[in-house]
Amino acid sequence: MPWFKRVEKGISTPTEEKKETPDGLWYKCPTCKAVTSMAEHRKNMNTCVKCNYHDRIGSKEYFAILFDDNAFTELDANMTSGDPLNFVDTKPYPNRVVATEKATGLKDAVRTGYGNLNGLPITIACMDFAYIGGSMGSVVGEKIARAIDHARKTRTPFLMISKSGGARMMEAGFSLMQMAKTSAKLALLSEEKLPYISLLTDPTTGGVTASFAMLGDFNIAEPGALIGFAGPRVIKETIGKDLPKGFQSAEFVLEHGFLDFIVDRKELKNRLSDLLSMLESKDAVADSKTARAAKLS
């Protein structure tokens, strides 16, 4: 009997017979490494049950969270990008558009729609990071502009959910024009005294931060979201100094006066409807005051 010799091999299961956990059954938090079931994670609105890390989600998830019974009418669902500059990087831009649409099921980096939020009619535009880094090209700008027009036409509040790496390189100058266009439309919305709430989610950077994302009557953000214009590396190299801890996190940006408040995704819907009802009643008070003043004069 061989006491000190291993006769049988330790593990002899061939690869094809190994039992794997099916992909997408478990979620591991990238911050605290806690593991939960995907179902639990989804039920928790894609936030970590242990450390409350807010996982990135897209328009599909935000619409499901915010619109009552996930019922909404999508605007300009089929608008797609042209290739005004015949742009080629590692591949031609039209090929990238087709490949991205196939991989994500999205037509561009923003979806817009209207419906009810806790019974209050609202128009929402929500960006998708999965589509070329949530970059802002002419379709993104145009859809946002049209969503604002819809809010003006129906006299409903407008909510913008930003999540973007900035302007879309492949449309160069055309992308930058969207900053002016969306800002001008928001000015009209403001003139018509309709509320605009801007929710900044992880990450909100570049031309998006430099235009519509920071123009809200209320600028709010999700916890831990990266919010900035240029990236930390570029800034560090430019100023030649180390950056403070937590630089460009939502908490840092709030502390420096650029945000009104940070909202947990699980409380988002109710916080929004509270805020909107408050603005509505304030508006009603203002209206009755104007009416009373008119009567007195």
Residues placed in the known binding site:
29, 32, 48, 51
Q: Does residue 243 bind Zn ion (CB under 5 A)?
A: no
Written as six digits, the tokens of 182 are 């969306």
* Residue 43 CB, nearest approach to Zn ion (Å): 15
- Which stretch in 51-59, 109-117, 143-151, 250-258 sits in contact with Zn ion by CB under 5 A? 51-59
Q: Among candidates 142, 255, 126, which has minimal Cα distance to 197?
A: 126
Binding residue for Zn ion (CB under 5 A) from 27, 45, 48, 212? 48
- Tell me, what amino acid is at 102? K
- Tell me, what amino acid is at 287? D
Helix (H, G, I), strand (E, B) or coil at 220: strand
Binding residue for Zn ion (CB under 5 A) from 28, 35, 37, 51? 51
Binding residue for Zn ion (CB under 5 A) from 26, 53, 174, 247? 53
* Residue 143 CB, nearest approach to Zn ion (Å): 33
Which residues on adjacent β-strands are paired with residue 113?
A: 74, 124
**Of the two residues 54 and 111, which places its CB atom closer to Zn ion in the complex?**
54
Q: How many CB atoms lie within 10 A of CB 250?
A: 26
Dist CA 277 CA 266 (whole Å): 19
Q: Does residue 31 bind Zn ion (CB under 5 A)?
A: yes
Q: Does residue 45 bind Zn ion (CB under 5 A)?
A: no
**Of the two residues 48 and 200, which places its CB atom closer to Zn ion in the complex?**
48
* Residue 170 CB, nearest approach to Zn ion (Å): 35
Q: Does residue 28 bind Zn ion (CB under 5 A)?
A: no
- Tell me, what amino acid is at 117? L
- Tell me, what amino acid is at 197? I
Residues between 173 and 232 with contacts to Zn ion, criterion CB under 5 A: none
What is the size of the binding site for Zn ion (CB under 5 A)?
Answer: 8
The phi, psi pair for 161, rounded to 5°, reads -105, 110
**Of the two residues 105 and 246, which places its CB atom closer to Zn ion in the complex?**
246
8 A C-beta contact, residue 23 and residue 8: no
Q: Does residue 50 bind Zn ion (CB under 5 A)?
A: yes
Would you list the DSSP string of 71-107?
A: -EEEESTT-----TT--BSSSBHHHHHHHHHHHH--S
Per-residue binder mask for Zn ion (CB under 5 A), 74-113, x = binder: ----------------------------------------
* Residue 36 CB, nearest approach to Zn ion (Å): 9
* Residue 54 CB, nearest approach to Zn ion (Å): 10
Q: How many CB atoms lie within 10 A of CB 287?
A: 11
Q: Does residue 144 bind Zn ion (CB under 5 A)?
A: no
Residue written as token pair 């909404």: 72
**Of the two residues 51 and 234, which places its CB atom closer to Zn ion in the complex?**
51
Q: Is 68 exposed, middle or buried (0-12, 13-18, 19+ CB in 10 A)?
A: middle
- Which stretch in 30-38, 124-132, 144-152, 218-226 sits in contact with Zn ion by CB under 5 A? 30-38
Cβ neighbors of 177 (< 8 A, separation 6 or more) are 138, 141
* Buried b or exposed e, range 157-177, using 16+ CB within 10 angstroms: bbbbbbbbbbbbebbeebbbe
**Of the two residues 51 and 77, which places its CB atom closer to Zn ion in the complex?**
51
* Residue 55 CB, nearest approach to Zn ion (Å): 9
Residues that constitute the known binding site for Zn(2+) = 29, 32, 48, 51
* Residue 250 CB, nearest approach to Zn ion (Å): 16
Instruction: Give the angle 146-151-170 at the CA atoms, nearest 5°.
Output: 25
The residues of the shown chain that bind Zn ion, judged by CB under 5 A, are 29, 31-32, 34, 48, 50-51, 53
